[in-house]
Amino acid sequence: MSNRSTVTEFLLRGFSDVRELQILHFVLFLVLYLAGLMGNLLIVSAVALDHRLHTPMYFFLVNLSILDLGSISVTVPKSMVNSLLDTRVISYAGCVAQVFLFLVFTSTDLALLTTMAYDRYVTICQPLHYEQVMNRRACVYMAAGAWLAGIVYSALHTGSTFNLPFCQSNVIDQFFCEIPQLLKLVCSDSYSSENGVIACGLFLCLSCFAFIIVSYVQIFRAVLRIRSVQGRHKAFSTCLPHLTMVSLLLSTGCFAYLKPTSTSASYLDLTMAVVYSLVPPMINPVIYSLRNKELKAALKKLIMWRLFVKN
């Protein structure tokens, strides 16, 4: 790429230069990382070991947990290492890899949440045709399509970003390589190609959001026609975790990527980056397990089995 000879590394400014605060940042991120890691691994293990959970909904949930594991593993460990070693450096290749992988996991996450909305729609609005529509092959194709779309979009966006000349600085006002902060380092007359990719990404996000909204309008209309109060409650309880995750991911991500970037470091930028990059992967297992009796039973069985084996 044209700017590789001029920029060989970036400096992640992060949160603070005070050593005590760096240690606090390391401990806090370590706790959050381990919580997200353990929660998502428990979901993957519980679904894999319990044959009663081998259904389309839990198949997509396992994919979502794998995406969450990848998302936090791309950004958080590097930030912890930098705080622990009191350094700010990330190589050019490391920054490219971080941007590419983070975009893969987040964009695939959105595509998979859209697929899960369709799964909820078929479950509630077309229950007699569910097994025929959401068969094993269809689920695999949908998940593979979500991953492929995320990889293609990430490759285009990453290539477009790092093909731009960086002539402002090499200091990134963030704890990981975030595209809005990288664009602050680009020469002012070099945005044309990147604007096209951003517009494409915005269109895809809005399309996914519109599809989810239309699906849930149909779902709520079907639920309101259910005469049983218990039936309505069960239908709403299966949709609430998914709606929560979609709202959290889209609201924080769109705010971070669409708001005007400030010329100086902003604590709001750091806060929003933490919210959309760490909070969804960490609370996703909690949201899905608290509202799901089958998953709670499988998790309890898995934990008791592990304790029994250990003893």
169, containing H or E segment: none
Prediction pTM value: 0.85
- Both structure tokens of 145: 């399509």
Q: In what order do the strands lie in the sheet with 9-12?
A: 89-91, 9-12, 171-172
Q: What is the pLDDT of residues 268-295, one digit of tens each?
A: 778 778 888 888 888 887 777 656 666 7
**Predicted confidence band of residue 261 (pLDDT cuts 50, 70, 90):** low
* Alpha carbon separation from 138 to 44, 109, 203, 209, 245 (Å, rounded): 20, 18, 25, 22, 23
**Predicted confidence band of residue 310 (pLDDT cuts 50, 70, 90):** low
Q: Report yes or no: 79 and 178 within 8 Å, Cβ to Cβ.
A: no
Q: What is the mean pLDDT of the chain?
A: 82
Q: Report yes or no: 74 and 98 within 8 Å, Cβ to Cβ.
A: yes
135: region left, alpha or beta (phi > 0 left; psi from -120 to 50 alpha): beta
pLDDT of 262 higher than 60 = no
What is the pLDDT at residue 4? Answer: 42
Give the chain's domains with CATH numbers.
Answer: 9-310 (1.20.1070.10)
- Both structure tokens of 270: 């750091």
Q: What is the pLDDT of residues 107-133, one digit of tens each?
A: 999 899 899 889 888 988 888 888 888
Instruction: Phi first, then psi: give them for residue 226, nearest 5 degrees.
Output: -75, 125
Task: Look at residues 246, 275, 280 and name the one whose alpha carbon lies nearest to residue 69.
Answer: 280
Q: What is the pLDDT of residues 19-67, one digit of tens each?
A: 888 899 899 999 999 989 988 988 888 888 878 888 888 899 899 999 9
What is the pLDDT at residue 5? Answer: 43
| Cβ-based burial of 309 (10 A; exposed 0-12, middle 13-18, buried ≥19) | exposed
